[in-house]
Structure 1
C-alpha cells in the first residue's frame, strides 16, 4: 500500500487528500475506487489507518479534506476536541459551514481523482459520523458513478432538514449499507424508521444494521468510544459489502 498526498481542484478551492494505492502484488483484478468521507475531526492518522486497511484489500482509496474551505486547522484530538471551548467552537463552525450540497459538488472532483489514479468501474463511498450522510448524498448525486454506499454511525440521515439524505432516496441506484450505533442522539429510532420507509418506497437495495451497545464513533480507532470488537464487526460487514458490490 502506498499513500500519496494530493491536491484536488474544486470550484471553491483546493482540497487536500490522501490517496492510497494498493500494492502491485495485490491479488485483486479489478481495483475499484473508494471515497472515505471523514468524521467531524478532520484528516488525521486514524483515518489514514482505516484507508490503508481498505487499500490492502485491493481498493484505491481517497480520503479528502471536507473542511478545506476553512484553511489550516487541527489536528484535533477526537477524545477531547468537543469538550474544549475553542476547538469545539471551531469544529461546530466548520461542520455547520460545510453543507451537503458543498460536499456533493466536491464529490465530482473526488471521483475524477480516483479515475485519474486508475480506479476502475463504479466507485464506493463510505462515511463515518458526518461523513455517513455525505456518503448517502453522494450516491444520490452520482447514481451512475457510485455503486456502493456505506454509512457507519452516520448522523442526521433522516432529519427534518431540507437536505436530509432520505429525501433523495429515489435518486439512489447504489447498494446501501447503514450501520447504526445502538444509542445515538444524531440518528434516533424515529430517524431510522423514516430512512427505512424512504428506502423501501424508492426501491433502494439496502441493509440497516443496529450495533447494540455501540456508541456514536465506535468504528474510529482514536475516538473516545472506540470499541475493538464492534469495529472488527464493522470491517467484516464493510469488506463483504464492497467486495460483493464492486468486485
Structure 2
C-alpha cells in the first residue's frame, strides 16, 4: 500500500492529508477521522490496514486551521503543560460544523483519487461524532459511518451528533468503551433512541473492560485483543456495506 501526501482546499484554508492506495484499483473509499492527537504513525498504520483490505483511505488533518503543531504524544499530551492547553484549544476550536463543511472537500478528494463508489467514514475519539455528522451531511455518498470511543455523541450541545441523524441514509456502527465519561450510558440510550426513531440500520456495541482510546496503538490504554475485535467489526461492517 502506498501513502501519498496531499493538500485539500477547503472553505477555510488548506488541509494536509494522507491518501492511502490499495494494491489494486478500488472505487470504495474511506475517510478516517483522527482522534485528538492528530495524524501520526499510529493512524497511518490503521489506514494502511484498511487499504490492505481494498479501500482507498483518506486521513485528513482536522487541526489545519492552527498551522504547524506537534508532534503530540498520545500518552502524555493531556497530562502535561503546555501541550494540554494547546490541545484543548485545538479540539474545542475545531467544531463539528467545521468538519462537516470540510468533509465536502474530503469526499471530493477521494472521488478525484478514484473512489467513485460508496464511501465509509470511521472516527476515533473526537473523530467519532464527525464520522456520523459526515453521514448526515452527505447521505448520498456516505453509506457507512463508524465511531469508536467517540465522545459526546448525544450531549446537550446543539451540534450533538444524535440531533442530526435523521438525514442519514446509510448504516451506523458505534463501539463504545466499557467505562467512558465522554459517552455515558444515558448518552448511549439517547443516541439509540434517535437512530431508531429515524429508522436507521445501526448497532451500538459496548466493549466491556475497554477504556477510552483502546483501539489506537500509541494510547496508554491500548488493548490488543480489544483492538482486534474492533477490526473484525469494522471490516465486516464496511465489507457488507461498501462493496
Distance in 1 between residues matched to 2:7 and 2:240, nearest whole Å = 31
Farther off after superposition, 192-201 or 113-122: 113-122
Q: What value does the CA root-mean-square deviation take over the aligned residues? A: 0.8
Q: Is 2:139–2:167's contact at 8 Å kept on the other side of the alignment?
A: yes
In the other structure, the counterpart of 2:114 is: 118
In the other structure, the counterpart of 1:69 is: 65
Distance in 2 between residues matched to 1:233 and 1:79, nearest whole Å = 22
Q: Residues 166-224 of structure 1: CA distance to partner in whole angstroms, max 9, x if unpaired?
A: 00121111100000000000000000000001111110110001000000000000001
Equivalent position to 2:191, from 190, 195, 201: 195
Deviation of 1:120 (Å): 2.7
Distance in 2 between residues matched to 1:84 and 1:5, nearest whole Å = 30
In the other structure, the counterpart of 1:48 is: 44
The SS at the match of 1:85 is coil
In the other structure, the counterpart of 1:12 is: 12
Distance in 2 between residues matched to 1:120 and 1:59, nearest whole Å = 12
Residue segments in structure 2 that go unaligned for 5+ positions in a row:
none
Question: After the TM superposition, which parts of structure 1 deviate over 4 Å for at least 4 consecutive aligned residues?
Answer: none
Distance in 2 between residues matched to 1:18 and 1:113, nearest whole Å = 11
Q: Is 1:31–1:58's contact at 8 Å kept on the other side of the alignment?
A: no
The SS at the match of 1:3 is strand
1:93 aligns with 2:89: yes
Count of aligned positions: 243
Q: Is 2:27–2:118's contact at 8 Å kept on the other side of the alignment?
A: no
In the other structure, the counterpart of 2:22 is: 22
Residue segments in structure 1 that go unaligned for 5+ positions in a row:
none
Q: Is 2:77–2:83's contact at 8 Å kept on the other side of the alignment?
A: yes
Q: Is 2:120–2:144's contact at 8 Å kept on the other side of the alignment?
A: yes
Distance in 1 between residues matched to 2:142 and 2:165, nearest whole Å = 14
Deviation of 1:31 (Å): 3.4
Distance in 2 between residues matched to 1:228 and 1:39, nearest whole Å = 18
